[in-house]
Amino acid sequence: MSTPARRRLMRDFKRLQEDPPAGVSAAPTEDNIMIWNAVIFGPHDTPFEDGTFKLTLEFTEEYPNKPPIVKFVSKMFHPNVYADGGICLDILQNRWSPTYDVAAILTSIQSLLDEPNPNSPANSLAAQLYQENRREYEKRVAAIVETSWLNFQEDDDADQDKKDT
């Protein structure tokens, strides 16, 4: 069944394939265009560099008039990311606009990695360390980056095993 939200998601996907933004990728799941898997690579020259972070985006039939629910699946230590992976980002809440597409959402999240807003913390420890002890904050982030890479490799290996059977 084609609805305005589903047609828009198909356009977003086509645009992502034709003109992919640097450092992000996303695609709908095999059986549901309303649920997407995404990957954000940590931006260069930031504590998140070399990180490979998985996310999910869940859209409703109200998209693009309402934002998707976006969550990190990968473990994340960041002032604006909740323990459950939820993201505190203005464009996903009160500053949403129907002009935003999947690429804009993901590039905004990628920018947020290096430019957190510690005044609106979702993780108060990360916000406190970011403001008061940058070295310790970056140490915690480095551990997450390493974990993200190892988990990504394991997931890829598991996906390959499924294909081989």
* Residues belonging to the active site: 88
Give the pair of three-digit tokens for residue 32: 């549901």
CA dist 69 → 58, 85, 114, 121, 155 (Å): 5, 11, 21, 18, 23
SS3 call for 52: strand
Check: CB of residue 123 under 8 Å from CB of residue 77: yes
What tokens were used for 148?
Answer: 């993200």
Cα–Cα distance, 51 to 149 (Å, whole number): 6
From residue 35, give the alpha-carbon distance in Å to each of 43, 74, 164.
25, 17, 25
